[in-house]
């Protein structure tokens, strides 16, 4: 019973924090919103993932998180400290795609020249 109550408080708290964040963003100019795009996306992602994780959390975990002020902002700030591998992944993807594109373009040329494999 206590765990259910802690879960309800946690979900309410997350909803409240996201509502406050959304109101803060609504007050910004278009340029301000665009400048905050990564933060907005991250906050919504953190919110969604925490809601998905919440049912599997123990009462102790929920209690500890309920005692934190600004969970979404706290996790967002911690997330900013994690090295971003997205650029490395994108670079690898683009190199692979470039190779595929070149291979597609070269195949007809090789076949025309009699170099069909």
Domain hosting residue 19, numbered range: 2-82
pLDDT by residue (tens digit) across 24-72? 999 899 999 999 999 999 999 999 999 999 999 999 999 999 999 999 9
Q: Which of 41, 48, 45 is nearest to 25 (CA)?
A: 41
pLDDT by residue (tens digit) across 78-108? 999 988 888 888 889 999 999 998 888 876 5
Between helix 2-26 and helix 71-80 the angle, nearest 10°, is 70
How confident is the model at residue 17, as a pLDDT?
A: 97
**Which residues 6+ apart lie within 8 Å of 33 measured at CB?**
25, 40
Residues 74 and 111 in one domain: no
Residues 92 and 64 in one domain: no
Residues 14 and 67 in one domain: yes
How confident is the model at residue 117, as a pLDDT?
A: 47
Predicted confidence band at 110 (pLDDT cuts at 50, 70, 90)? Answer: low
What is the radius of gyration, based on Cα positions, of the chain?
Answer: 24
């Amino acid at each position: 019973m206590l765990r259910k109550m802690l879960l309800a408080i946690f979900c309410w708290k997350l909803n409240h924090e996201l509502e406050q964040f959304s109101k803060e963003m609504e007050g910004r100019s278009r340029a301000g919103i665009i400048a905050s795009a990564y933060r907005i996306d991250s906050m919504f992602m953190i919110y969604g993932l925490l809601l998905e994780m919440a049912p599997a959390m123990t009462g102790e975990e929920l209690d500890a998180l309920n005692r934190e002020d600004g969970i979404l902002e706290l996790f967002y700030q911690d997330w900013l400290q994690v090295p971003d591998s997205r650029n490395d992944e994108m670079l690898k993807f683009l190199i692979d795609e470039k190779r595929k594109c070149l291979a597609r373009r070269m195949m007809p040329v090789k076949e025309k020249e009699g170099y069909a494999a």
